[in-house]
Structure 1
Amino acid sequence: MLRRLARQFEAASARYAEDNGIERDADWFILKMQEEIGELTQAWNKRTGRGRRHGKSEDEIQTDMADEAADLLGHVLLFAHHHDLDLVAAIKRKWKFQVEL
C-alpha cells in the first residue's frame, strides 16, 4: 500500500510540476518537505495560541493541520520514491514491527 501511495503521489506531483513549469531536482524534494513541515508548524501554532487564527474555528484549524500533515506525508513519500528508499524495510528495521504497507 505504501509503495502504491508513493506512486500515486509521484504521478500527481509530476503532473503538477509539468503544468507549472517546476523542475523537481534532488534539492526540490527535500526543500518541499521543509516547506510542508513549516506549514504544519504554522497550523499547530494557530491551534496552540502561538499564531494568529485569522478568524478560523477549531474545526477549520484541525482541518488545516490534517491537510498539512497529508502534504508532509506526500512529500516524504515523494522524497523516498525519488531516492529509491525502501521505507517498508526501514520501518521494519527501525521500528521493529511488521507492516503491511
Structure 2
Amino acid sequence: MDLTELSERLEKISVGYGEHLGFDRDPDWFLLKLQEEVGELTQAYLQHTGRARAKGATPDGIRETFHQEFADVLCQLLLFARRHDVDLPREIERKWLVYEA
C-alpha cells in the first residue's frame, strides 16, 4: 500500500470525523490525538500481556483490540505527518534504509 495514497484516504475520513463531531482539527489536535492513540495502545498491550484488568473482555477480544490499536496509531501518525508536509517514504529512506546491508 502506498503511504501517500493511504494518507489521502485517511485525510478524507479524518475531515469527516471532525465535521461530524463539530471540532477543528487544528495543529495541536493531530499531536494530541496521536498521544491518545498511543495511550490506548499501551492500555491494550498491558491487557494483552496480563498486566491490566481485562474489564470483562475475552482473551480473543483483548488480542483483537491490541491489534486494532496499532492501526489507530499508524493512521494518526500518517495524518500528523501529512499535516506537517513530511515525506515519510523519503525520511524512512534517509533515516533507516540507509543502514541496509
TM-score normalized with structure 2 length: 0.91
2:51 corresponds to which letter in structure 1?
A: R
Identity %: 47
Kindly report the root-mean-square deviation, in angstroms, between the aligned alpha carbons of the 2 structures.
1.0
Q: Aligned partners of 1:55, 1:20: CA distance in 2, in Å? A: 29
DSSP 3-state at the match of 1:5: helix
Task: Report the Cα offset of residue 34 of structure 1.
Answer: 0.3
**Number of residues of Structure 1 aligned to a counterpart in Structure 2:** 97
Q: Aligned partners of 2:27, 2:74: CA distance in 1, in Å? A: 17
What corresponds to 1:14 in structure 2? 15
Say whether 1:79 aligns with 2:80.
Answer: yes
DSSP 3-state at the match of 1:45: helix
Moved more, 83-92 or 46-55: 46-55
What 5-or-longer segments of structure 1 have no aligned partner? Answer: none
What corresponds to 2:4 in structure 1? 3
Task: Report the Cα offset of residue 95 of structure 1.
Answer: 1.1
TM-score normalized with structure 1 length: 0.91
What corresponds to 1:62 in structure 2? 63
Task: Report the Cα offset of residue 55 of structure 1.
Answer: 2.2
List aligned pairs for 1:80-95, cutoff 5 A: 80-95=81-96
DSSP 3-state at the match of 1:54: coil
Q: Deviations along 1:14-41, whole A, 9 cap, x unmatched?
A: 0110111111111000001100000000
What corresponds to 1:45 in structure 2? 46
Q: Aligned partners of 1:67, 1:96: CA distance in 2, in Å? A: 27
